[in-house]
Amino acid sequence: MTNPILSDWTTPFEIAPFNQISDDDFAPALDQAMQAHNAQIDAIAANPDAPTFANTIEALEAAGEQMDKVLSVFFTVAGADSNPAREELQRAFSPNLSAHFSGISSNKALFQRVADLWARKENLDLTDEQARVLMLTHRGFVRAGAALEGAEDARMQDIKARLATLGTNFTQNLLADEREWFMTLSEDDLEGLPDFAVKAARAAGEEKGAEGPVVTLSRSLIVPFLQFSPRRDLRERAYRAWTARGANGGETDNRDIAAETLTLRTERAKLLGYDSFADFKLETEMARTPDRVRDLLMQVWEPAKSRANADADILTQMMQEDGVNGPLEAWDWRYYAEKRRKAEHDLDEAALKPYLQLDRMIEAAFACANRLFGLEFAPLDVPLYHPDCRAWEVTRNGQHIAVFIGDYFARGSKRSGAWCSAMRAQAKFPKAQAPVVINVCNFAKGDPALLSYDDARTLFHEFGHALHQMLSDVTYESISGTSVARDFVELPSQLYEHWLEVPEVLAEFATHAETGQPMPQDMLDKVLKAANLDQGFQTVEYVASALVDLAFHDGDAPADPMAKQAEVLAGIGMPQAIGMRHATPHFAHVFAGDGYSSGYYSYMWSEVMDADAFAAFEEAGGAFDPERAKALEDNILSTGGTREAEELYLAFRGRMPGVEALLKGRGLIAA
């Protein structure tokens, strides 16, 4: 029988037929797909005809269709709905996939054809997009080690294979720690928790098979608990478990994995002639050098730390007024920050949350995309990989644009965090294909599901990534959608968050879950005024993580990453009552793969631009100014990686911004 993963998908819009695929299909499908891909690569490399853009670069672009199908389906379910079988498959696949792609990048005959074209690029009569794809292909081969020979070449393959295995192990250890830990709550322990948090705890208890409500390590559950529970002892217990993920000893401990990963990355960079992994990694980003990254982060660090220290004094006084002596601790901060927000802004998260229904926030994200870009969303009834998932067809002027899938709820089988991926990316070659894009989040379940304001921002953030994929309009898949510099990829997502804060959007879509009434004007005003209340805390926990990430990779690898982390935090004067957003043993951005390694700063680099980019709308006709929306689509959202990121931003805005807009936007300096 034909493997359903590799068969022709006759589903609507050729969505993966999840209802026909079993875990037993993945391994044979991958074996067959790798064999087919290898045959395609061998044919390109051994082509007796002289290299041309068509028979080499376009042939590479067209190769691997079966691989794309297998990997898009597998990694979607492995990340969002894992099980023991899928975890075992992932452990087996990681070194095999690394060896497969390393074999391609180290294929000397293939690289020679690419290098030949690169040497003759001025005489090939290429379009701008073709010239860009040639440059990126050649650069990718070189950076993967294609020019290495002999022992150095073999060592590079070993390093990449080992790093792939380590990244998988790091992810699965983290998932195991998050899945296994929960804290059972008695009815008395629910004191002080708002109804939405109680309902979420009860739902989590049912999922865990516990006798009663529980707190898990899902951010959408544990953060409200830390915000509202007056039980300091339980807050401490929950916080310590949350921050100990990946550092509990035993088989799921990630500290040795982090150390080995950093050592291998340094060796990899030096094999390629770089002084450090940060020098290697940042060469292709907007920032270019570690010094430019550090300069940005430190420009933000000092005002953020100053604000956080001032806030800590206020929270400590509030704590002492409650009769609690001793220093403010990390498990106290959110609790007293919430009390302060209620006291200073008369804004109660428990009163606010019923106005932030998940379904209404999805409608809001869609409505903004409609007003800005003319997109329309119609529900699709198609089999997906989990009952929680939903799908929509995206159209414009009656033309099919994309399929969008949303998977919003936390569960034990899903890794933490939120992300966007394209199960199929937009392209016009070798045939026209519309994207299939998925947003995955970890919101607490409820009936109806209610979001915190941070949750709502996350929803808009990930949908901004989705728009980058859906509105892509390029020829070649390798530069489609979010295939841009890492410190540019967060611009569309962080920019889209601003539309959540547009008063008319909240006025229309922030309606009460029970009464259906819109958010009262005074509450809406308070929400917007309170947006920067705890920005000292939020900025410090983020920048500290980014500085530690940079320090790990800028120079020789530390023998003990935990000691290096402590050294960096001491050196910058980390406030005692604030923890890193992602401590090393659960820093998945950096250690689950190298996507954000030496690149966690990129959220802030993009934020410098997103504050300035939204100001362009405000300076024009407002948040929905049609000319600015068209400029955004034409120069950023539709262009993928066709040009350098800085060139794209300049085409949209006319100039590059400074850090001042970010500091003002976060309320860290006077507006």
Which residues are marked as active site?
462
Task: Please give, one letter per residue, the 3-state secondary structure of 282-337.
Answer: HCCCCCCCHHHHHHHHHHHHHHHHHHHHHHHHHHHHHHHHCCCCCCCCHHHHHHHH
Contact 245, 586 (CB under 8 A): yes
Contact between 517 and 386 (Cβ < 8 Å): no
Of the candidates 574, 577, 575, 600, the residue with the CA atom closest to the CA atom of residue 587 = 600
Contacts of 11 (CB under 8 A, 6+ apart): 17, 382, 383
| Cα–Cα dist 90/101, whole Å | 16
Q: How far is CA 501 from CA 77, 355, 456, 509, 529, in A?
A: 33, 14, 10, 11, 10
Residue 182 sits at the vertex; the CA angle it makes with 181 and 183, to the nearest 5 degrees, is 135
Q: For residues 285 and 292, give the distance between their C-alpha atoms in angstroms, rounded to a whole number.
A: 11
Distance (Å, rounded) from C-alpha 57 to C-alpha 114?
7
**Judging by DSSP bridges, how do beta strands 390-396 and 214-216 pair with one another?**
unpaired
Angle at 36 between CA 34 and CA 42, to 5 degrees: 100
| Element spanning 665, H or E | helix 660-665
Q: CA Rg, the chain, in Å?
A: 25
Only one residue has tokens 């790091």, namely 170
Residue 121 φ/ψ region, left for φ over 0, alpha for ψ in the -120 to 50 degree band, beta for the rest? alpha
Nearest to 487 by CA among 583, 595, 630, 643: 595
d(CA 432, CA 400): 12
Helix ranges (H only) for 357-480 are 358-373, 453-470
Task: Give the torsion through C-alpha atoms of 17, 18, 20, 21, to 10 deg.
Answer: 120
Please state whether the peptide bond connecting residue 558 to the residue before it is cis, i.e. omega within 30 degrees of 0. Answer: no
- Give 401's contacts (C-beta < 8 A, 6+ positions apart): 375, 394, 395, 434, 470, 471
With residues binned 3-state (H G I as helix, E B as strand, rest as coil), the percentages for the chain, rounded to 5, are: 60, 5, 30
CA distance 653 to 665: 18
Residue listed under structure tokens 């029970």 = 514
Structure-token pair, residue 494: 């962080």
Gap between the Cα atoms of 566 and 555, Å rounded: 17
Look at the alpha carbons of 206, 208, 213, 217 in this order and tell me if their dihedral is positive or negative.
negative
Rounded to 10°, the helix 561-572/255-271 angle is 90
